[in-house]
Amino acid sequence: MGQYRLMAEWEPQAAVLLTWPHADTDWAPLLASVNQVYTELAYHICRFSRLLIAAPEANHAEIKQLLTARGVPEQQVQIYAVDSDDSWARDHGPLTVSRDGVARLLDFQFNGWGNKFDASRDNAISKALANAGAFSAELESIDFVLEGGAIETDGEGTLMTTRSCLLNPNRNGDVSQLEVEQILQRHFGVGKINWLDHGFLEGDDTDSHIDTLARLCPDRRIAYVGCRDKNDVHYDALEKMQTQLREFRDAQGQPYELIELPWPQAVYSSDGERLPATYANFLILNGAVLVPIYQDPADAVALSKVGEAFPGYEIIAVDCGVLIEQHGSLHCITMQLPVL
């Protein structure tokens, strides 16, 4: 049998998973607004692939009503009765690997980004979906804490991540970089791991997930967040991140073309906390990219820059101002399921 290969997000997709918000989550005070974002997201996803939704059974009728009103084709959606603590499917959803053309879904452990939040129900979602027949591939449980938002891959042997997340003892205890690399190599078949040492977003609960900072794109491109405001608290770290990205090489030893994404204006919560708005948290679909926008002057530039990273793709803006109220964005709430 051949080696496992972790699929790149831009490879052909069969479906996208959403875990729908409900009243028994932190979304409760924002439920009407976040339902609108999820409905809009569902509409665009279903233009390009199927949609799987995990939600408590009591919410199914309302979700179907929202989708029907937006014109989402009923045959494109399958809703499963699954309880959840929250809605960040990128981090509790399964990761798809291929071995000799056969798909396997890897169910890593999710502990609420280092036990910051209760995630016991979220950690059981992938297994519940598998038991309900949501997946055509076999699900394998891995006894290692790892969130999908913490890693980026090109599907060709290269993985990019951050030391501040994967080596944080709040995930897997006192684990060494070598031990983590051996786990990533064994389960994902990667030969080159690029570790990012710099870059963060204030208000981020994830210990610097890579998908908020820098994203691998087709044809050896990296789209990354830049900050040109020297008075901004992020300036020094993001400058160092840019320098390090220039030094990165893929598994074939080739450098990357860097595409700088703009820096949105600072956004604050009602209690004065800065929120982690980022344009890097986009979702790649079959022939399209959904890009978070924030009603910010930099939105148009962000859409243009993502278009540079994905020539020939349809670039679609989705207003994610509500999502960052809970410290995440568009990529964080989705998980793609590739075609195999």
- The whole-number pLDDT of residue 1 equals 45
* Residue from 184, 183, 7, 1 nearest 95 by CA: 7
3-state SS of the chain?
Answer: CCCCEECCCCCCEEEEEEECCCCCCCCHHHHHHHHHHHHHHHHHHCCCCEEEEEECHHHHHHHHHHHHHHCCCHHHEEEEECCCCCCCHHHHCCEEEEECCEEEEEEEECCHHHHCCCCHHHHCHHHHHHHCCCCCCEEEEEEEECCHHHEEECCCCEEEEEHHHHCCHHHHCCCCHHHHHHHHHHHHCCCEEEEECCCCCCCCCCCCCHHHCEEEECCCEEEEECCCCCCCCCHHHHHHHHHHHHHCECCCCCECEEEEECCCCCEECCCCCEECCCCCCCEEECCEEEEEECCCCCHHHHHHHHHHHCCCCEEEEEECCCHHHHCCCCHHHEEEEECC
Cβ proximity of 262 and 299 under 8 Å: no
**Model pLDDT, residue 127:** 98
Please give the structure tokens belonging to residue 52.
């799987």
The domain defined by 5-338 folds into L-arginine/glycine Amidinotransferase; Chain A (3.75.10)
| pLDDT score, position 2 | 62
pLDDT averaged per 10 residues in sequence order, the chain, 340 residues: 86 97 96 98 98 98 98 98 98 95 94 97 98 95 98 97 98 97 97 97 97 98 97 97 98 98 93 95 98 97 98 98 96 94
pTM of the model: 0.97
Delimit the domains of the chain by residue range: 5-338
The predicted pLDDT at position 99 comes to: 86
Q: Which residues of 108-121 are buried (b: 16+ CB within 10 A; e: fewer)?
A: bbbbbbbeeeebeb
How big is the CA angle at 89 (ends 210 and 298), to the nearest 5 degrees? 50
- Residue 272, class by beta-carbon neighbours within 10 Å (0-12 exposed, 13-18 middle, 19+ buried)? exposed
**How is the beta sheet containing 288-293 ordered, strand by strand?**
283-285, 288-293, 314-319
* Whole-number Å distance between alpha carbons of 94 and 140: 9
Phi, psi at 157, each rounded to 5°: 100, 0
